[in-house]
């Protein structure tokens, strides 16, 4: 579901816009960057925020 919401937000952006996704470690952290790359988006970075929360930065 995390990637579903990510995909929906990405579809609303203009090319070149940047999306920051806050997500939990585990499956979302594995899935979102991989799927974003497969779909042709540019994954600029993955950062640890605090605890089990991480941030994935994607450029359309």
Partner 1 sequence: MAETKKLSIIAFSGDFDKLTAVFTLGTGAAAVGYEVNIFFTFWGLDAIKQKKGRSFTGGNWLTKIFGFMMGGLSVTPTSRFNFFGAGPKIFRYLMRKNNVATLEELVEAAKVLGINLYACEMAMHVLGLKKEDFIPEVKDVLGVASFLNLSEGGQTLFI
Residues that bind partner 1 (CB under 8 A): 1, 3-8, 11, 35, 38-39
Identity of the residue, 11 or 14, whose beta carbon is nearer to partner 1 in the bound complex: 11
State in angstroms the smallest separation of the CB of 48 from partner 1: 19
State in angstroms the smallest separation of the CB of 57 from partner 1: 19
State in angstroms the smallest separation of the CB of 50 from partner 1: 16
Grouping H, G, I as helix, E, B as strand and the rest as coil, residue 1 is coil
Question: What is the side-by-side order of every strand in the sheet holding 53-59?
Answer: 18-24, 53-59, 42-50
**Closest of 56, 54, 58 to residue 24, by C-alpha:** 54
């Amino acid at each position: 579901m995390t990637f579903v919401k990510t995909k929906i937000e990405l579809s609303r952006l203009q090319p070149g816009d940047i999306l920051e996704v806050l997500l939990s470690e585990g499956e979302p952290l594995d899935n979102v960057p991989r799927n974003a790359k497969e779909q042709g988006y540019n994954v600029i970075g993955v950062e640890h925020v605090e605890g089990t929360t991480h941030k994935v930065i994607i450029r359309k």
